[in-house]
């Protein structure tokens, strides 16, 4: 069925729920998990101090991403899965584009992604990467709702 499953991770409960679902699917289909974290060099920093060492900030984002990927990899390998990790630094553009490019580059035949269920102003401001992935993906996409939305 599925041979390679891409799982974008952003550190949220929703992404963690997507990871757990992908681990179960990969176990059932003997698929390889491709874990992805995308760092963004142009974050919305409404509360960040004006004076900031941008390079230090970016390295902190990358370090956090590597740690997140390692934790997810440990969880998946403890389930007996083969796992690849990918840290993608986004230089402008949308996270959804990076996800779609990684899916194509790694030959993934399923994307499992959490959706935050943003509505109203937050959705207009932040957009929906999950929706963009769903609309533009060449392979099937499994959307996992946030734990709060499932209740």
Sequence ranges of the domains in the chain: 4-43+50-145
**In this structure, which topology does domain 4-43+50-145 adopt according to CATH?**
Rossmann fold (3.40.50)
**Cα-flanking dihedrals φ and ψ of residue 23, to 5°?**
-60, -45
133 pLDDT above the threshold of 90: yes
Lowest mean pLDDT of 27-36, 50-59, 119-128, name the range: 119-128
Instruction: Please report the pLDDT score of residue 149 as a whole number.
Output: 60
Instruction: Please report the pLDDT score of residue 123 as a whole number.
Output: 45
pLDDT digits (tens, 9 = 90+) for 39-87: 986 654 544 555 567 778 788 889 999 999 999 999 999 999 999 999 9
Please, which pLDDT band fits residue 91 given cuts at 50, 70 and 90? confident
Long-range contacts of 81-85 (CB under 8 A, 24+ apart): 81/23, 81/26, 81/27, 81/31, 81/32, 81/33, 82/32, 82/33, 83/32, 83/33, 83/34, 83/35, 84/32, 84/33, 84/34, 84/35, 85/35, 85/36
Secondary structure (3-state) at 82 = coil
């Amino acid at each position: 069925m599925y041979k390679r499953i891409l799982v974008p991770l952003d550190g949220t409960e929703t992404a963690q729920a997507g990871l757990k679902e992908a681990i179960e699917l990969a176990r059932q289909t003997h698929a390889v998990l491709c874990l992805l974290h995308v760092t963004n060099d142009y974050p919305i920093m409404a509360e960040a101090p004006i004076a900031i060492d941008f390079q230090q900030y970016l390295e902190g984002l990358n370090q956090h991403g590597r740690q997140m990927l390692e934790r997810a990899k440990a969880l998946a390998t403890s389930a007996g899965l083969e796992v690849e990790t990918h840290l993608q630094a986004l230089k402008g553009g949308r996270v959804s584009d990076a996800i779609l490019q990684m899916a194509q580059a790694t030959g993934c035949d399923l994307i499992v992604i959490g959706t935050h269920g943003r509505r109203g102003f937050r959705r207009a401001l932040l957009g929906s990467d999950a929706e963009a992935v769903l609309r533009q993906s060449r392979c099937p996409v499994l959307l996992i709702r946030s734990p709060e939305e499932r209740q």
